Every structure is written in C-alpha cells, then in structure tokens.
C-alpha cells in the first residue's frame, strides 16, 4: 500500500513538474509574441512616417515639374520602405512560428495526457478481477424510422 502511494505521489510530482515547465514555456512564448507584435507596430509606424515624409518632400518638387528629382525622391523612399517591409515580414514570420510552436506543444501535451489516462485506466482495470465474464454488447445496425413529415397547413 505504501509503495502504491509512493508511486502515485511520484507520478503526481512528475505531472506537476511537466505542467509547470509547459506553463513557463507558454508564458515565454506569450512574452515573445507580445514583444514581436509591439516591434511590428513600430515598424508599421515607421513605414507610415516614411510615406508621409515622402509626400511632404515630393509635393513641392512636383509643383516645379522636376521629374528627375521626383524619381530620386521616390527611389529613396522606396528603398527605405523596402527595408522596413523586410524587417516587418521577419517579425510577422517569427510570430507565426511561435503560434505553430504553441499549437504543436499543445497537441503533444494532449497526446501525452490521453496516453497517461489510458495507461492508468489499464492499470486500474488490471487490479480488479472480472466478476462477470465478458460478453459482447449487442448493437443495432438497423436505422431508426424517420417520423412522417408534418401535414400541410390549411389554406
């Protein structure tokens, strides 16, 4: 009896340890995701600023009709925006990777819990001697009759 108690206590302790580690990992992923989302918002804001600055810079140039200067301003702004968009894409990909990691760890945890429950049920079933011989449970493959359709409404 004492050995069984020690085994159950050991399993409970191990389960608590596993859940604590999973909770810590989840908290870490949430913190990383929040940080990346904040950084992504900052990058999006910087893209908007570059576009706004481009508009302020190019408007007087367009008024003069200097197409060479317009093109130079556009290419300069485009280069800045392209760099920022690459940075944004990297951050969004990292967020996506964290989501995938979270969902895969959740499915692994669920599989382990199902396996643990099945093992425990098997151990519990083995500890009890069957008092009644096992007999197949009758099942019906016949479909239930469907009720008749309701009568049509009176005109």
Query: What is the average pLDDT value for the chain, to the nearest integer?
Result: 82
Domains in the chain: how many in total?
1
Please, are residues 61 and 73 in contact by the beta-carbon 8 Å criterion? yes
- Tell whether 62 is covered by a domain: yes
> Is the model's pLDDT at 8 over the cut of 60?
yes
Average pLDDT of span 37-48: 96
Task: Report the alpha-carbon distance of residue 43 to residue 79 in Å, rounded.
Answer: 15
- Out of 6-20, 74-88, 113-127, 140-154, least confident range: 113-127
Tens of pLDDT, residue by residue over 52-82, are 999 999 999 999 999 999 999 999 999 999 9
Task: Report the alpha-carbon distance of residue 104 to residue 44 in Å, rounded.
Answer: 29
Q: Supply the range of the domain harboring residue 35.
A: 14-126
Pick the closest to residue 94 from 56, 141, 40 (CA basis): 40
- Tell whether 58 is covered by a domain: yes
The pTM is what?
Answer: 0.58
- Tell whether 42 is covered by a domain: yes
């Amino acid at each position: 009896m004492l050995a069984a108690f020690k085994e159950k206590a050991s399993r409970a302790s191990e389960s608590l340890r596993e859940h604590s580690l999973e909770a810590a990992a989840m908290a870490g992923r949430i913190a990383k995701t929040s940080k990346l989302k904040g950084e992504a918002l900052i990058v999006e804001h910087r893209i908007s600023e570059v576009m706004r600055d481009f508009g302020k810079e190019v408007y007087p140039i367009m008024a003069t009709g200097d197409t060479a200067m317009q093109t130079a301003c556009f290419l300069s702004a485009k280069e800045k925006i392209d760099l920022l968009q690459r940075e944004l894409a990297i951050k969004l990909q990292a967020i996506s990777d964290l989501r995938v990691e979270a969902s895969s760890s959740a499915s692994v945890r669920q599989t382990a819990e199902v396996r643990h429950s099945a093992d425990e049920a098997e151990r519990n079933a083995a500890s009890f001697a069957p008092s009644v011989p096992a007999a197949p449970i009758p099942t019906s493959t016949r479909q239930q009759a469907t009720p008749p359709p309701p009568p049509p409404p009176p005109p």
